[in-house]
Amino acid sequence: MRQPTFRIQTLVAACVAAGTFSACAPLVLTSAVVGGAMMATDRRTTGTQIEDQAIELKAGKRVRELMRDGGHVNVTSFNQHVLVTGEVPTEADKAALVQTISKIENVKSVVDEVAVMAPSSFGTRSNDALLTTKVKATLVDSKDLLSNAFKVVTERGTVYLMGRVTEREATRAADVARSVAGVQRVVKVFDVISEEELAGVTVPSAPRR
C-alpha cells in the first residue's frame, strides 16, 4: 500500500483581533490526551496513539532540561511526526531543541515551527487557547468532516492542523479554520491518504479499562 504523504503547507488568512480567556504556563506541552470516545474515532492505531503520548512525555522532559526557563515550547506528536512550536532565545537554542527531539525513539520526523524571539505574552497565549477552542468547535459544526480526525494547535495566531486525512478533508478543514475570526494563518501538517486508503482504515476500539 502506498505510504501516506507527510507534508506541510501554509495558507494565509485575514488577521482579526480576538479575546482572551485562560492562563498558560511558561512551558506548555501539548499532550495527546486520548479518552474513550476520542480514541474510538482516531484513525491511528491504538499502539500509535500510545506511542505519540510517550513521545510527547519524553520530549517534554528533554525540553525542560534543555530550555529551563529560557523559552516557551509546544510539542505535539501525531502518527510519530512531531510539530514543535513556540519561542526560544537564540538560533543555537532552536537547533539544539530540534536535534534533541529528533533523536527521541520512534520519532519519524520533526516539523520545526519555532521562532527565535522573546516568549509570547500571557495575552497572546490566552488568545491562542481561545482560537483553538473556536476552531475545534467549528470543525464539530462542519457536518462533512470527522472532527476527531484532526488535532488543532495554535501559536501566535497561526493554526496548525494535524491528522491522517484525505486531500478533500485537508482542504475543507483548512477552509473551516480560516473562517474563524482571529486566525492569521492556517498551516496543514497532515498525513495525506487517498479516498481508497481511507475506506480501508479500521478505526481502533478504545482499550478496556
Q: E strand or H helix at 8, and its extent?
A: strand 5-12
pLDDT digit string, tens, across residues 103-114: 999 999 999 999
Judged against a pLDDT cut of 50, whether residue 25 lies above it is answered with no
User: What phi, psi does 171 have (nearest 5°)?
Assistant: -65, -45
Q: 209: Cβ–Cβ under 8 A, 6 or more apart, which residues?
A: none
| 3 state SS of 18 | coil
Residue 161 and residue 189 in contact, taking contact as beta carbons nearer than 8 Å = yes
* Per-residue buried b or exposed e for 20-45, using 16+ beta carbons within 10 Å of the residue's own CB: eeeeeeebbbbebebeeeebeebbbe
Instruction: Provide the pLDDT confidence category of residue 199 given band limits of 50, 70 and 90.
Output: confident
Average predicted confidence (pLDDT) for the chain: 83
The predicted pLDDT at position 203 comes to 60
pLDDT digit string, tens, across residues 142-165: 989 999 999 999 999 999 999 999
The predicted pLDDT at position 204 comes to 56
> What is the DSSP secondary structure assignment for residue 144, as one 8-state letter?
T
pLDDT digit string, tens, across residues 86-128: 999 999 999 999 999 999 999 999 999 999 999 999 999 999 9
**Cell numbers 506528536 label which residue?**
77
Q: Pick the residue with more confidence: 117 or 17?
A: 117
Give me the numbers of helices (H) and strands (E) for the chain, helices first please.
Answer: 6, 7
Instruction: Provide the pLDDT confidence category of residue 68 given band limits of 50, 70 and 90.
Output: confident
Residue 8 and residue 201 in contact, taking contact as beta carbons nearer than 8 Å = no
- Provide the whole-model pTM: 0.78
| Residue 16: closest CA among 186, 183, 174 | 183
Instruction: Provide the pLDDT confidence category of residue 200 given band limits of 50, 70 and 90.
Output: confident
Q: What's the one-letter identity of residue 20? A: T
The predicted pLDDT at position 173 comes to 98
Q: What's the one-letter identity of residue 77? A: S
